[in-house]
Amino acid sequence: MSKLDASIRRRTILKAGLALGASQAIGAPYIVSALGEEPVKIGMVDPLTGVLSALAQSEVDGAKYAEAEINKKGGILGRRVQLLVEDSANDVGIGVQKTRKLIDRDRVDVIFGDVNSGIAYAMAQVTFEKKVLHIVPGGHTDPITGTNCKWNVFRVCNTTSMDANAVTPELVKKFGKKWFFVTPDYAYGHTLQDAFIKALTKLGGTYDGDFLPINNTDFAATLAKAKGSKPDVLLNNMVGLTQINCMKQFTQLGMGKDMALGGALFELESIRGVPPDAQTGWWNMEWWWNQPNVPEVVKFVADYRAATKKTPSARDWFGYVSVQSVRLAAERAKSLDGPKMAKALENLELPPDVALQPGKIRFRAGDHELMPNIFVGEVRPPKGDASDVFAISTLVPGEQAAGSITDTGCKMEQPA
């Protein structure tokens, strides 16, 4: 053996020994990684700054928790998982730039993102071009799995139509058919309001409302218009910090005595950001932590709280399910190839410790939309546990709320 060969051999043994030692230190059997395998790389693009940052951070938290959990059990296909997170800054151009960087420079196997539906849609153009599996944890606009569906794109959160269809009958039954919308002026807001109008008018309802900037801060003029309209229900469709500001101003003006309040989503991150008198209204939760009759949920919540010091929200669950879905797809396909994993995810039913709710929860083959339950109920100040701010009234099956694949407009084309 030459001196050069001996030197190379010594370096190789040293690297393998260091990698093995590191794996043993955290209790994970990364023998394959120690022999030089690259990690399974997942790129995540989310708006970690801006008005949607709290929602995005929870998605990242859930994904990181799943990353650690999977790595502790040996990784994916014997390789450790590495989550690479980028901030889209709630900007379409930046989101696309970060997506290309993760694919072209970091060589990720899968892409996640974005909370902002407009960014998620733009990212999908890139991932489709690159033939990379793309999971949208929390961008809701309908076309992502509807008219613009793609073979490589799957979604965990509901469509706006699913959310509107789930809560509309409850709001009409309890409060009436005359509504006023306060809606963000971007992709999510437009598809959500369209879905609500379709569901409401089918029940004989009427409506008025305003579209406002996604980062709007002053709601005085719109709330005055709403008061003059005398609706039965005000639909607060704003998101993140803007929804929080709208809720605060609605309650400060005492408008709760004149009209009911509700909408598609009032998420745990936002509920935490308002005073008790603004913790009100009838809404959907796309997943809820307090399911005492589901043992897998009880265990998950206890473990999550112990590891992260927080109660998981639907957004945490979105991130968790997204990473676990990569594992399930890779194991089923026995590959990290984008088209093969996409095929493996079609009609894949999540196991109970990932679904974390009753029933059979699957990615529907025809449009790649997850079909979970939708938790419809009332937000109210906490009773005991600080995160116990939602009382479930009913569970609406995702299949029921989603309607048929024909209704979505999705015409799935398989990869060449």
- Residue spans of the domains in the chain: they are 10-158+293-371, 161-285+375-402
41/59 Cα distance (integer angstroms): 17
Q: Which token pair is 353?
A: 């410790």
- For residues 410 and 145, the answer to whether their CB atoms sit within 8 Å is yes
Provide CB contacts within 8 A for 361, sequence distance 6+: 349, 350, 355, 370, 371, 372, 373, 398
- For residues 54 and 240, the answer to whether their CB atoms sit within 8 Å is yes
pLDDT at 303: 98
First to last CA, the chain: 48
pLDDT at 382: 93
14/12 Cα distance (integer angstroms): 5
Q: Which token pair is 174?
A: 């309890």
* pTM for this model (two decimals): 0.90
351/328 Cα distance (integer angstroms): 9
Residue 249's Cβ-count burial label (10 Å; 0-12, 13-18, 19+) is middle
331/106 Cα distance (integer angstroms): 23
pLDDT at 414: 84
What fold characterizes domain 10-158+293-371? Rossmann fold (3.40.50)
Residue 48, helix vs strand vs coil? coil
pLDDT at 8: 39
Percent helix, strand and coil across the chain, each to the nearest 5: 50, 20, 35
Q: Which token pair is 211?
A: 């579209």
Three-state DSSP string of 340-409: HHHHHHCCCECCHHHHCCCCCCEECCCCCEECCEEEEEEECCCCCCCCCCEEEEEEEEHHHHHCCHHHHC
Choose among 112, 104, 152: nearest CA to 128: 152
Provide CB contacts within 8 A for 238, sequence distance 6+: 182, 183, 184, 212, 216, 245, 246
Residue count of the chain, please give it. 416
pLDDT at 228: 97
The tens-digit pLDDT sequence of the chain (416 residues) is: 443 344 434 444 343 343 333 333 333 443 444 434 899 999 999 999 999 999 999 999 999 999 999 999 999 999 999 999 999 999 999 999 999 999 999 999 999 999 999 999 999 999 999 999 999 999 999 999 999 999 999 999 999 999 999 999 999 999 999 999 999 999 999 999 999 999 999 999 999 999 999 999 999 999 999 999 999 999 999 999 999 999 999 999 999 999 999 999 999 999 999 999 999 999 999 999 999 999 999 999 999 999 999 999 999 999 999 999 999 999 999 999 999 999 999 999 999 999 999 999 999 999 999 999 999 999 999 988 999 999 999 999 999 999 999 999 999 988 87
Provide CB contacts within 8 A for 353, sequence distance 6+: 296, 299, 300
- For residues 200 and 172, the answer to whether their CB atoms sit within 8 Å is yes
**How many CA atoms within 13 Å lie on the side-chain side of 283?**
27
Pairing of strands 153-155, 282-285: unpaired
Q: Do domains 10-158+293-371 and 161-285+375-402 have the same CATH topology?
A: yes
Note the CATH number of domain 161-285+375-402: 3.40.50.2300
pLDDT at 416: 76
pLDDT at 73: 96
In degrees rounded to 5, what are phi and psi of residue 73? Answer: -100, 10
Provide CB contacts within 8 A for 212, sequence distance 6+: 182, 183, 184, 185, 219, 222, 238, 242
**How many CA atoms within 13 Å lie on the side-chain side of 225?**
13
